Amino acid sequence: MTHKKHLLHVVDLVKRFGGLVAVSDYSLTLEQGELVGLIGPNGAGKTTVFNLLSGVLKSSSGNFFFNSQNITKFSPAQTARVGIARTFQNIRLFEDLSVLDNIKVAFHMHHGKGFLNTIFHTKKFRQTEKEITQKAMEFAELMNLTELIHEPAKKLPYGDQRRVEIARALATNPKLLLLDEPAAGMNPQETAELMRTIKEIHAKQDMTILIVEHDMRLVMNLCQRLQVLNQGQLLAQGTPEEIQNSPEVIKAYLGSPKENPHAIC
Amino acid sequence: MESNRPRYCLGLLIMFMVVFSLGIERTANDYILAIVSFTGINIILAVSLNVTNGFAGLFSLGHPAFMAIGGYTTALLTFSMEKKPLFLPDLPQWLIPVHLPFFPALLVGGCFAALVAQIVGISVLRLKGHYLAVATMGFLIIVQVLLNNANSITRGPLGLNGLEEFTNVSWVAGWVVVTIYTCWKIKFSSLGRSMLAVKEDSMAANSLGVDLFYTRNFALTVGAFFAGVAGGLWGHLITAVTPGSFSLIMSFNIIVMVVVGGTGSITGSVTAAIIFTLAIECFRPLEENFGIYGVGEIVISLVLILILIFKPSGMFGTGEPKFVTGKYKQLSPTNGK
């Protein structure tokens, strides 16, 4: 198989909800260190792809491989363990927990599970907790959240919540980061800031990132490669320039003049 | 950055418990001692249900079932050898020579309840919310029916009576400390954070690598262990265990304590357990003297309704009060009444 060298290799992924085909024959190859965007009109199946890749939904057919390991049937927790982290389109923070605790939860799968260590307050327990706190602080700092760490997550403004979610995802120490509309609901200034942060994570940590986004300017500036989904099907892929000039993509977004002359919105 | 306050508070709690239990056992009459012991058992029950219900968000009505399992196990293990042939003539052969002192019997009772919780959890924990509540209620009823009909071991509806009165204030106080300490440790560790995360948003927790089933089952098991121990203490306090004692009303009472105290707050559970047990006892003379029975229950139900309307998160919310995790301090003055 050719999937040996790739970080993520998706082959003919299909998801059906009853009669509705949400994603059909979706394929993707990601190399280590790439930053790829996934765009498409509403209802194109972008989030479904994310849910499939992160194990939240099970595919109807098709396979995907992560570091040449078949992870198609993995649960979300298993997927997280092999190194895929994600954020959610509609933010899913642990609202009553503090920002720091939100980030700390991400360390649970690798550290701090020992019940007896916890109860007897052993040296190992103390060390692990200290380590977790330290590392969580580092991720909070990375996302500029240092002043907010003791605030309950629900009290944060929208943009900050997004950043907590990204910090939390990064804290799982992933090899691949899936960002589901990270700029949704942000003002232009926040978006620009977010763009800088994503670039920084990408460059500094050599993180592979797959990003779903509606903000075209963000995607076009950020990504090296784009995929366009429409009605569950892969419409086009290529560099941002190629995508911008592709007639099919323009048709999907704006409608063809013949069929639907007033659909420009 | 972590405060040392909880540690001081733990020391204070232990010291207070030692002085309190020694003091009260010398001075108070049997009635007071019984009330104090019941209060302690209720604290154990409320705090342990809080792990299941408050930390991991599993709305379990099955707490008395685990209590019954622990209570019956402990009772059978400590049952006096002379009375066994008389009370339980049909006891299976292998059970006849089995006899343990009180403390190991309590541990075995707790562990057996925990084991049952593990097995029940495999099937029940696939459900969520109301469905889980109904399923755990079903489990409680199953346990009651089994106890009622397994005549050879449980003597059916008669229950096991004539147990020795092992439980005293010191035993209860010791277990209260152990329960509070364990649950506190769990809450402020990676385990507890993962439970709270599962409660708040299971999908997000799962995507961060938290194993939902393991976490939930663990929360149920910890709760069941302490419920089992509480059952053993309870049985040896009133010197009898009957199937009818471990009823839905009891699970209602424990849940009221957890909800009123604040789902997820250990301080809240402790405070609510103390207030409720004492309130019921305070209403008792009133009920008996004026013949208006049930006033206590009505008042408690009213309190529950009012709390749900005006402060749905309970007295202390999900957290511990600010006088820096002063849960242990909170306990001392209230318990000293």
pLDDT band of residue B337 (cuts 50, 70, 90) is very low
Closest partner CB to A76 (pick from B189, B190, B207): B207
Check CB contact of B4 with chain A, cutoff 8 Å.
Answer: no
Cβ-defined contact of B203 to A92 (cutoff 8 Å): yes
Give just the sign of the alpha carbon dihedral A231, A233, A235, A241.
positive
pLDDT at B238 over 70: yes
Q: Across chain A, what does the average pLDDT equal? A: 85
Specify burial of residue A136 (Cβ count, 10 A radius: 0-12, 13-18, 19+).
buried
pLDDT at B322: 63
Regarding predicted confidence, which is higher, B132 or A186? B132
Cβ-defined contact of A94 to B196 (cutoff 8 Å): yes
Check CB contact of A89 with chain B, cutoff 8 Å.
Answer: no
Residue of B nearest to A166 (CA): B208
Check CB contact of B3 with chain A, cutoff 8 Å.
Answer: no
Task: Give A92's contacts in chain B (Cβ within 8 Å).
Answer: 201, 203-204
Best A82, A88, A96, A150 residue to mutate vs chain B (most B CBs within 10 Å): A96
Q: Which of A7-16, A38-47, B220-229 has the highest mean pLDDT?
A: B220-229
Specify burial of residue B137 (Cβ count, 10 A radius: 0-12, 13-18, 19+).
middle
User: What span, in angstroms and rounded, lies between the C-alpha atoms of B37 and A26?
Assistant: 65
Closest partner CB to A80 (pick from B190, B201, B209): B209
Check CB contact of B191 with chain A, cutoff 8 Å.
Answer: yes
Mean pLDDT of all residues in B258-274: 90
Cβ-defined contact of B182 to A119 (cutoff 8 Å): yes
pLDDT band of residue A86 (cuts 50, 70, 90) is very high
pLDDT at A239: 87
User: What span, in angstroms and rounded, lies between the C-alpha atoms of A211 and A177?
Assistant: 8
Cβ-defined contact of A97 to B200 (cutoff 8 Å): yes
pLDDT at B326 over 50: no
CB A104 within 8 A of CB B196: no
Q: Number of helices and strands (H, E) in chain B? A: 15, 2
Which residues between 95 and 114 in chain A have a beta carbon less than 8 angstroms from any beta carbon of chain B?
95-97, 101-102, 104-113
Q: Across chain B, what does the average pLDDT equal? A: 86
Mean pLDDT of all residues in A201-212: 89
For the segment B267-317, what is each residue's pLDDT rounded down to a tens digit? Answer: 899 999 999 898 888 888 887 788 777 787 888 888 889 988 988 888 887
Closest partner CB to A118 (pick from B191, B196, B208): B191
pLDDT at B196: 92
Mean pLDDT of all residues in A64-78: 90
Closest partner CB to B200 (pick from A94, A109, A133): A94
Check CB contact of B56 with chain A, cutoff 8 Å.
Answer: no
pLDDT at B281: 85
Task: Give B203's contacts in chain A (Cβ within 8 Å).
Answer: 56, 76, 88, 92
Which CATH code, of 1.20.870.10, 3.90.220.20, 3.40.50.300, 3.40.50.261, is assigned to A87-173?
3.40.50.300
Mean pLDDT of all residues in B249-272: 90
**Residues listed for chain B:** 337
Closest partner CB to B200 (pick from A96, A108, A132): A96
Which residues between 126 and 155 in chain A have a beta carbon less than 8 angstroms from any beta carbon of chain B?
128-129, 132-133
pLDDT at A121: 82
Global ipTM: 0.86
Choose among A99, A105, A91, A249: nearest CA to A180: A91
User: How wide is the angle at C-alpha B43 spanned by C-alphas B39 and B44, nearest 5°?
Assistant: 120
User: Considering chain A, what percentage of its residues have pLDDT values greater than 70?
Assistant: 94
pLDDT at A258: 59
Regarding predicted confidence, which is higher, A5 or B170? B170
pLDDT band of residue B105 (cuts 50, 70, 90) is very high
pLDDT at B235: 93
